[in-house]
Amino acid sequence: MISIQELERIASQVRRDIVRMVSGVASGHVGGPLGSADFLVALYFAIMRPDPKNFSMDGKNEDVFFLSNGHLSALFYSVLARYGYFEVQELATFRKLHSRLQGHPATAEGLPGIRISSGSLGQGLSVAIGAALAKRMNNDEHRVYCLLGDGELEEGQNWEAIMFAAGKKVDNLIAVVDYNGKQIDGPVDKVMPLGDLSAKFEAFGWKVLTMYGNDMAEVVDTIKKSHWFLGQGQPVVIIMTTHMGQGVDFMVDNHEWHGVAPTEEQTRNALAQLEATLGDY
Amino acid sequence: MKEYINSGSKDTRSGFGEGLLEAGRQNPDVVALCADLTGSLKMDAFEKQFPDRFVQVGIAEANMVGIAAGMTIGGKIPFTGTFANFATGRVYDQIRQSVAYSNKNVKICASHAGLTLGEDGATHQNLEDLGMMKMLPNMTVINPCDFNQTKAATLAVSRYNGPVYLRFGRPKWPNFTDPAATFEIGKALMMNPGSDVSIFATGHMVWIALEACKALGEMGVSAEVIDIHTIKPFDNEAVLASVMKTGCAVSAEEHMRNGGLGDSIAQLLAREFPAPMEMIAVNDTFGESGKPEELLKAYGLDTPNVVAAALKVIQRKKNSR
């Protein structure tokens, strides 16, 4: 079993990768990826632990993960590469012409680890439900995870999916909402208040857990705890409070770091705060 | 001309329903999803036979498309069912990202296409669906002409791996193609060879084209009728070969002129073999309520209009010589 300390070391390298990838091409999203880094590292390295050398699109007999908020692509790619799906050197091609690492995740380029294109928001939870239904039909006991943004919940399709998953008792599904309270135009509470999100999920019939998503031990514990509630006729959501830009002091909790690339100086400053635990690509 | 006999009018959606049931029997991975239109889509037989492989999603088409895409991850072959309007325009981006760009093996099945859904009127008469769907990379677009062909097409797409848009209709319509025929995706079907004009038709309009062919024959005009049941991939060779022989073309479809079958033919002819052409289609206007036959007449999609278009292109061909 991998230690919390080791997971934190991986997360530090993943955060460096994110800053370097976005900075390297002067384009992309850095804030959300930094905030959700602990979660995705924990999910792949401590919880799902899929076999990266035998990636199959249909994901039979393994846990599968869907990134609905596809603009967290830099995080997704870094975790997939560090986990062993492809060479870390390929991270240098992020967002460049003919790269498998498209601006938003794509299946078209054949990158191992990606099972659906995402980026146009609001679609991932439906896809995750479909994968969960297929697993049920296949008598496959494995789980389906889906990461969503909080601002993304403004898309109506999510609420179709939330209604469906509870109504049809999709109980092999764990949705995780990155609740950082920020979106492009400002605080979520100003752009479009989500109200009492836990109460909303509960009212739809979901089991709701909450966690602080920037504490590795709490993340691992909460995901494990979420498994207890599966198989009981209702889907599970973890509302995960995070800090957008976590790990870089001048980015933390600032919505303006949603989708801008750091300058050279800012990049130096950011990297000075993030230890290269596994070696840069 | 070759004679086609209506073996008894049936709705094409019932052909879909029978095809889906048969596909379900042949392949345990075939699953069906419906957005509260199970009876209208004739999916009830499948639901009854395979309740564990049928997913009722309620009136939530966007979610349905996403769920279908997800079910392919797990090896399922999902057929989604709703009306053409809700199957395409309402969920274009979901189809674009989660199905077409992701290249998922989803069959988007759409009933009540075209004008002939009738009395429900323009809110339901999506006349842009073929255009929207054919513009999507990876998407195969199929619009069969009668009950038998729709059933065969449904079986064929269940065996084809990739995204498909399968379009059919509501009204009872002449059933005249060979029930034993196998459906070849992407292959135009020669209905009647002729030498003076090529009439390319799709969906319900194939029967109208055959009626027009008969009328033209009585006037001494030899019309070739070709059923373009697959809008994409387009059978360029068959269309070109026909127009090179006849020298002029008429297209006939229950769809907007922009983006439809005629548009595909015109693009091909402009590139390869410019020839006089007329398009029987709805021209940049919404539909309205009415009976199917009344609507086809009101929007210029009935037999006399196809005959007139054929005579017009033949005259243009002669004038240009």
- Domains and their CATH numbers in chain B: 10-173 (3.40.50.970), 189-314 (3.40.50.920)
Query: What is the structure's pLDDT at A1?
Result: 87
Which tokens go with A225? 């705890």
pLDDT at B321 over 80: no
A34 found inside a domain: yes
**Cβ-defined contact of B65 to A126 (cutoff 8 Å):** yes
Which tokens go with B103? 């290249």
- Which residues does A234 contact at the CB level (< 8 Å), separation at least 6? A166, A169, A171, A205, A206, A207
Which tokens go with B254? 């229950």
- The candidate with the shortest Cα–Cα distance to A102, out of A82, A77, A69, A128, is A77
**Cβ-defined contact of B102 to A60 (cutoff 8 Å):** no
For residues A149 and A152, give the distance between their C-alpha atoms in angstroms, rounded to a whole number. 5
A279 found inside a domain: no
A277 found inside a domain: no
- Min Cα distance A157 → chain B (Å) is 6
Count structural domains, chain A: 1
What would the mean pLDDT of B244-250 be, rounded to a whole number?
98
* Backbone phi, psi, residue B103, to 5°: 55, 55
Which tokens go with A193? 């208040």
What would the mean pLDDT of B242-262 be, rounded to a whole number?
98
- The candidate with the shortest Cα–Cα distance to B213, out of B227, B205, B224, is B224
Q: Is B72 near chain A, with CB under 8 Å?
A: yes
A265: β partners: none
CATH of the domain at A196: 3.40.50.970
Which tokens go with B318? 């002669």
A280 found inside a domain: no
Q: What is the CA radius of gyration of chain A?
A: 17
| C-alpha torsion sign, points A20, A23, A29, A32 | positive
A25 found inside a domain: yes
Name the residue with tokens 């994409």.
Answer: B232
ipTM: 0.97
**Cβ-defined contact of A58 to B68 (cutoff 8 Å):** no
Strands B10-11 and B172-173: antiparallel
Residue A116 belongs to what domain range? 4-271
What would the mean pLDDT of B13-33 be, rounded to a whole number?
98
Query: Given A124, A137, A160, which is nearest B76 (Cβ)?
Result: A137
For residues A18 and A21, give the distance between their C-alpha atoms in angstroms, rounded to a whole number. 5
What would the mean pLDDT of B242-249 be, rounded to a whole number?
98
- CB contact at 8 A, B181 and B123: no
> pLDDT tier at A130 (50, 70, 90 boundaries)?
very high
Q: Is residue B233 reached through a cis peptide bond, with omega within 30 degrees of 0 on the bond before it?
A: yes
For residues B205 and B107, give the distance between their C-alpha atoms in angstroms, rounded to a whole number. 23
- Min Cα distance B305 → chain A (Å) is 43
> pLDDT tier at B219 (50, 70, 90 boundaries)?
very high
A276 found inside a domain: no
What would the mean pLDDT of A112-136 be, rounded to a whole number?
98
A278 found inside a domain: no
Query: Quick one: CA torsion of B75, B182, B38, B175, rounded to 10 degrees?
Result: 170
The greatest distance separating any two alpha carbons of chain B, rounded to the nearest whole angstrom, comes to 64
